[in-house]
């Protein structure tokens, strides 16, 4: 069997849904299980609806909800002809929207928003889109079973970033899958969402449908997982920022992990984890160009020749600099990393010397408590308005040649930090104002000039 995940842009309108149908038809003989994201922008809108309601702007929340509902209904009107199926689907969508409206009314009267309430509301995005996908497949003769993630994706109650409870998820999934296979049905379920032991919907973090798909694929021992999105695969850089990007034919899980952790939105950073141990391959494919080969991710990549395969970036990061004080207690890589982890700050990479430490983190205000704790170790300064640029490729983080060329190319760009994280990446932090020209110049140097046909393919 295979797992196929369709992201928001792959389900955003009737035309996109027809592509999904065609793709599933083409892969039907491989026994697909489908993992669906909310339609494009729906989760943002559901978050907005929650916030508006909690601020007492109930009418605004309900207006946004009506517009989200219209987007789903337009897709239904343009794809479903069968009267009974259409009526059933309308009833389900109505029910869901009433559910969201009920939450809004409660939030407006309470006047505050909890992560639990936000998850309850956001869970409707994936439930709506997956219902529509299942109905479209049925309409076109593909027997489907719509599976509520709440029937198997048991999680803890860490709302907003819940973690799955693994043996339980595996057992439940296995039973559902055996049942679908014996009835010859394609299961259609939701990414992103799960459920607590008390029956409350949870979410596993923004963009985490990728992770839902690989987790499901791993637990079911799928032959491969496919992530269908709106680009041809993993590209040599973010096409929204860079010109002349190439498609990367193959990448290792480790390289992809670095790429996503350092900002490439194409995959959620946890996506690779469930597949690594079992060595299940992952394909990234374009749902709008389904004949085109995508990027294949596996345990190993093509020749490890210290080649830069892609360049990731993150805007709005900050560099926290620490200089050791007179007290020796707590100073050291482990002590400082633990301190940041305990306060929930994700350290992307760091450099340490005997007396100095620099840590790259996503831009979050260092809370007073963390600042005070860090200051007990020494002098602390925080630089923001920074952006990170990360060269990714097996061996790149340990290549002296790449490091010296990078430093030369970026001389005069106000470099705040350079750090190699393990072998697969090398990160430089610069002023945000210089981000685009620096990205383009590094792309020219390492991708366009190299243009190795074994690794890259042009994007048409
Ligand atoms: P989906 O809705 O399918 O999950 P996302 O928007 O989350 O899609 O991810 C796909 C987007 O990731 C692309 O449209 C592209 O703009 C962006 N992206 C950023 N970096 C890369 C990269 N290196 N390769 C491919 N896409 C990238
Ligand atoms: N719909 C969710 C989000 O937008 C999950 C996902 O798309 O992966 O974050
Ligand atoms: Mg995504």
Q: What is the pLDDT of residue 125?
A: 98
Question: Of all protein residues, whose CA lies closest to atom 12 belonging to ligand 1?
Answer: 266
Q: Which residues contact 400 (CB under 8 A, 6 or more apart)?
A: none
Q: Do the beta carbons of residue 377 and residue 324 sit within 8 Å?
A: yes
Q: What is the largest CA-CA distance in the chain?
A: 77
- Ligand 1 close to Cβ of residue 229 (< 6 A): yes
- Selected residue with higher pLDDT from 368 and 429: 429
For 262-300, the pLDDT digits (tens) are: 999 999 999 999 999 899 999 999 999 988 999 999 987
Q: What is the pLDDT of residue 359?
A: 92
3-state secondary structure of 259: helix
- Selected residue with higher pLDDT from 460 and 178: 178
Q: Residue range 424-453: average pLDDT?
A: 93
Which among 151-160, 318-327, 383-392, 397-406 has the top mean pLDDT? 151-160
The Å distance, Cα 270 to ligand 3 centre, comes to 12
Q: Which ligand is nearest to the CA of 9?
A: 1
3-state secondary structure of 158: coil
Q: Residue range 4-27: average pLDDT?
A: 98
Please list the residues that pair with 386 across neighbouring strands.
317, 431
pLDDT level of residue 376 (50, 70, 90 thresholds): confident
**Residue 65 pLDDT > 90, yes or no?**
yes
Q: Do the beta carbons of residue 144 and residue 138 sit within 8 Å?
A: yes
Which residue, chain included where needed, has tokens 């309430």?
A: 117
Please return the burial class of 344, using the count of CB atoms within 10 Å of its CB with bins 0-12, 13-18 and 19+. exposed
What are the angstrom distances between the C-alpha of 410 and each of 254, 268, 382? 26, 29, 21
**Is this prediction's pTM over 0.85?**
yes
Q: Which atom of ligand 2 is nearest to the CA of 206?
A: 9
Q: pLDDT exceeding 70 applies to what percent of the chain?
A: 98
Q: Please give the structure tokens belonging to residue 76.
A: 């239904």
Q: Which ligand is nearest to the CA of 149?
A: 2
Distance in angstroms (rounded) separating the CA atoms of residues 99 and 97: 5
Q: What is the pLDDT of residue 287?
A: 97
**Residue 304 pLDDT > 60, yes or no?**
no
Q: Residue range 124-135: average pLDDT?
A: 98
Which among 75-84, 349-358, 412-421 has the top mean pLDDT? 75-84
Question: Of all protein residues, whose CA lies closest to atom 26 belonging to ligand 1?
Answer: 266
- Which of 47, 208, 214, 229 to mutate to test ligand 2, by most ligand atoms within 8 A of the CB atom? 208
Q: Do the beta carbons of residue 305 and residue 396 sit within 8 Å?
A: no
Q: What is the pLDDT of residue 129?
A: 98
Q: Which atom of ligand 1 is nearest to the CA of 311?
A: 23
The Å distance, Cα 250 to ligand 2 centre, comes to 25
Q: Which atom of ligand 1 is nearest to the CA of 259?
A: 23
Q: Angle formed by the axes of helices 209-219 and 166-182, to 10°?
A: 70
- Ligand 2 close to Cβ of residue 444 (< 6 A): no
pLDDT level of residue 44 (50, 70, 90 thresholds): very high
Q: Please give the structure tokens belonging to residue 59.
A: 């009418």
- Ligand 1 close to Cβ of residue 266 (< 6 A): yes
Q: What is the pLDDT of residue 450?
A: 85
Q: Residue range 77-102: average pLDDT?
A: 98
- Ligand 1 close to Cβ of residue 423 (< 6 A): no
Q: Residue range 181-200: average pLDDT?
A: 97
The Å distance, Cα 209 to ligand 1 centre, comes to 13
Q: Which ligand is nearest to the CA of 45?
A: 2
Q: What is the pLDDT of residue 302?
A: 62
pLDDT level of residue 189 (50, 70, 90 thresholds): very high
**Residue 15 pLDDT > 90, yes or no?**
yes
Q: Please give the structure tokens belonging to residue 57.
A: 């702007």
Mean pLDDT value across the chain: 94
Q: pLDDT exceeding 90 applies to what percent of the chain?
A: 80
The Å distance, Cα 211 to ligand 2 centre, comes to 10
How many Cα atoms are found within 13 Å in the side-chain-facing hemisphere of 42? 31
Q: Residue range 417-429: average pLDDT?
A: 88
pLDDT level of residue 217 (50, 70, 90 thresholds): very high
- Which of 6, 38, 225, 268 to mutate to test ligand 2, by most ligand atoms within 8 A of the CB atom? 38
Q: Do the beta carbons of residue 271 and residue 215 sit within 8 Å?
A: no
The Å distance, Cα 87 to ligand 2 centre, comes to 27
- Ligand 1 close to Cβ of residue 139 (< 6 A): no
Q: Angle formed by the axes of helices 115-139 and 42-54, to 10°?
A: 140
Q: Residue range 325-340: average pLDDT?
A: 80
The Å distance, Cα 12 to ligand 1 centre, comes to 15
- Selected residue with higher pLDDT from 93 and 181: 93
């Amino acid at each position: 069997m295979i797992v196929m995940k369709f992201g928001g842009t792959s389900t955003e309108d009737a035309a996109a849904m027809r592509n999904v149908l065609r793709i599933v038809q083409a892969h039907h003989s491989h026994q697909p299980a489908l993992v669906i994201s909310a339609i494009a922008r729906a989760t943002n809108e559901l978050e907005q609806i929650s916030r508006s309601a909690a601020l007492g702007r109930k009418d605004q929340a309900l207006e946004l909800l009506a517009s989200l509902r219209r987007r789903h209904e337009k897709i239904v009107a343009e794809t479903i002809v069968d009267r009974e199926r259409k009526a059933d689907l309308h009833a389900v969508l109505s029910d869901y929207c009433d559910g969201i409206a009920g939450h809004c009314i409660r939030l407006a009267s309470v006047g505050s928003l909890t992560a639990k309430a936000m998850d309850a509301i956001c869970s409707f995005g994936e439930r709506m889109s997956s219902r529509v996908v299942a109905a479209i497949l049925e309409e076109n003769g593909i027997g489907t079973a719509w599976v509520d993630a709440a029937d198997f994706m048991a999680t803890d109650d860490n709302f907003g970033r819940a973690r799955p409870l693994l043996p339980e998820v595996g057992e439940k999934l296995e039973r559902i899958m055996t049942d679908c296979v014996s009835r010859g049905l394609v299961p259609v379920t939701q990414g992103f969402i799960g459920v607590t032991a008390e029956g409350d919907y949870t979410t596993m973090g923004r963009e985490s449908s990728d992770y839902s798909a690989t987790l499901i694929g791993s637990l079911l021992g799928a032959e491969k997982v496919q992530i269908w999105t709106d680009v041809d695969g993993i590209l040599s850089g973010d096409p929204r920022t860079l010109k002349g990007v190439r498609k990367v034919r193959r990448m290792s899980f480790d390289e992809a992990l670095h790429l996503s952790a350092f900002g490439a939105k194409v995959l959620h950073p946890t996506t690779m984890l469930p597949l690594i141990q079992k060595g299940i391959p992952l394909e990234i494919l374009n749902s709008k160009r389904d004949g085109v080969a995508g990027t294949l991710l596996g345990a190993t990549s093509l020749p490890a020749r210290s080649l830069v395969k892609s360049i990731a970036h993150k805007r709005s990061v900050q560099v926290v600099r620490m200089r050791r004080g007179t007290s020796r207690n707590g100073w050291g890589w482990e002590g400082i990393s633990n301190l940041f982890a305990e306060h929930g700050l994700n350290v992307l990479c760091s450099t340490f010397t005997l007396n100095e430490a620099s840590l790259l983190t996503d831009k979050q205000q260092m809370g007073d408590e963390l600042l005070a704790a860090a200051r007990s170790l020494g002098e602390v300064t925080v630089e923001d308005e920074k952006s990170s640029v990360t060269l990714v490729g097996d061996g790149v983080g340990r290549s002296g040649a790449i490091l010296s060329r990078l430093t030369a190319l970026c001389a005069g760009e106000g470099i705040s930090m350079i750090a190699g994280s393990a072998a697969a990446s090398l990160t430089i932090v610069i002023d945000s104002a210089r981000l685009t020209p620096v990205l383009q110049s590094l792309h020219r140097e390492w991708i366009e000039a190299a243009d190795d046909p074994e690794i890259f393919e042009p994007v048409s």
